[in-house]
């Protein structure tokens, strides 16, 4: 009898203890559903929304539609915009088109420009084409240039070509150089070749060096080879060393080898030691 009474007492108590957990789970589910509805996701169940929540969802959907219209998305429904929103959208669309035309973008629609804007865009396009032709960048339409602009473009392009030739650029066209430009380009090319040879860089043509430049280049090459030999680099050519240089290097290498054998650190070739050096590093008898 007592067991039955305890069962009836504990059953409601257990339900009461689980109620907060169930309530929290239900609340979390409703919150997630509200967020799904506000975001316009398929998981939204509008039947679970309260009246205030439905108003929130409608407001979020309206804002999303306004943003879609501003971004020119296909999901835009202009019929759902208010009059102020429609006016603001029209103003933004017009300004975006003006900006596109100013920047020379393909999305520009000239038919939507006002007469004043069209004149400004035509002037901007003329200036942009003139700059492109003068700088040699992008697509240049010479047929749209005025006689004055054509003359300025010809001078600018001639100077640009002369600069390319002096700098050794691949865009250089020697056929378009004037006699003075040809002399300057030849002198610059000669100096560039001498510098390449002296520094051991590529594009060196020894046959184009003057006697003085050849002497300076030979001195630089000899110094680089000496440094490579001192550093033990594989590019060292010992046959190009002078007798004093070869002896200095041999003496330095002998000292290094003796030190390595004496300290037991580094590469040691005992066969290259003198008799005295061999005795100096042998253990002494006690």
Q: What is the DSSP string of 136-191?
A: T-S---GGG--HHHHHHHHHHHHHHHHHHHHHT-TT--GGG--HHHHHHHHHHHHH
Q: What are the C-alpha distances in Å from 69 to residues 42, 98, 100, 176, 177?
A: 21, 18, 18, 54, 56
Could you give the CA distance from residue 256 to residue 93 in angstroms, rounded to a whole number? 80
| pLDDT (0 to 100) of residue 25 | 62
Give pLDDT tens digits for 121-175. 888 889 989 999 998 887 899 999 999 999 999 999 999 999 989 888 768 888 8
Could you give the CA distance from residue 233 to residue 273 in angstroms, rounded to a whole number? 24
For residue 167, give the nearest of 132, 202, 191 by alpha carbon: 191
Helices in 39-114 by DSSP H: which ranges? Answer: 51-70, 83-102
| pLDDT (0 to 100) of residue 20 | 60
Q: Please calculate the CA angle 228-234-235 and round it to the nearest 5 degrees.
A: 55
Give pLDDT tens digits for 77-94. 888 888 888 889 889 989
Residues 240, 246 contacting (CB under 8 angstroms): no
Higher pLDDT, 20 or 173: 173
Could you give the CA distance from residue 41 to residue 49 in angstroms, rounded to a whole number? 14
Residue 255 is encoded by which pair of tokens?
């000292």
Could you give the CA distance from residue 252 to residue 245 in angstroms, rounded to a whole number? 11
For the chain, percent of residues with pLDDT exceeding 90:
36
Burial of 12 (0-12, 13-18, 19+ CB in 10 A): exposed
Could you give the CA distance from residue 91 to residue 239 in angstroms, rounded to a whole number? 82
Residues 125, 136 contacting (CB under 8 angstroms): no
Give pLDDT tens digits for 220-241. 999 999 999 988 899 899 899 9
Q: How confident is the model at residue 286 (pLDDT cuts 50, 70, 90)?
A: very low
Residue 94 is encoded by which pair of tokens?
């017009």
Could you give the CA distance from residue 73 to residue 285 in angstroms, rounded to a whole number? 97
């Amino acid at each position: 009898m007592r067991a039955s009474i305890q069962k009836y007492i504990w059953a409601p108590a257990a339900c009461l203890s689980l109620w907060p957990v169930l309530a929290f789970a239900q609340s979390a589910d409703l919150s997630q559903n509200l967020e799904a509805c506000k975001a316009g996701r398929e998981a939204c169940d509008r039947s679970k929304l309260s009246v205030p929540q439905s108003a929130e969802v409608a407001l979020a959907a309206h804002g999303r539609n306004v943003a879609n219209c501003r971004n020119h998305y296909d999901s835009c429904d202009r019929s759902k915009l208010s009059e102020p929103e429609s006016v603001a959208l029209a103003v933004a669309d017009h300004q975006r088109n003006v900006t596109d035309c100013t920047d020379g973008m393909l999305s520009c629609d000239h038919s939507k420009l006002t007469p004043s804007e069209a004149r400004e865009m035509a002037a901007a396009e003329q200036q942009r084409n003139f700059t492109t032709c003068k700088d040699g960048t992008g697509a240049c339409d010479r047929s749209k240039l005025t006689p004055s602009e054509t003359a300025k473009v010809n001078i600018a392009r001639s100077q640009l070509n002369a600069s390319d030739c002096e700098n050794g650029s691949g865009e250089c066209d020697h056929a378009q150089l004037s006699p003075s430009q040809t002399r300057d380009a030849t002198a610059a090319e000669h100096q560039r070749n001498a510098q390449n040879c002296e520094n051991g860089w590529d594009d060196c043509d020894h046959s184009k060096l003057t006697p003085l430049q050849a002497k300076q280049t030979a001195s630089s090459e000899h110094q680089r080879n000496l440094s490579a030999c001192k550093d033990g680099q594989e590019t060292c050519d010992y046959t190009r060393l002078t007798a004093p240089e070869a002896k200095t290097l041999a003496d330095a290498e002998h000292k290094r080898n003796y030190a390595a054998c004496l300290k037991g650190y580094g590469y040691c070739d005992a066969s290259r030691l003198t008799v005295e050096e061999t005795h100096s590093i042998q253990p002494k008898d006690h």
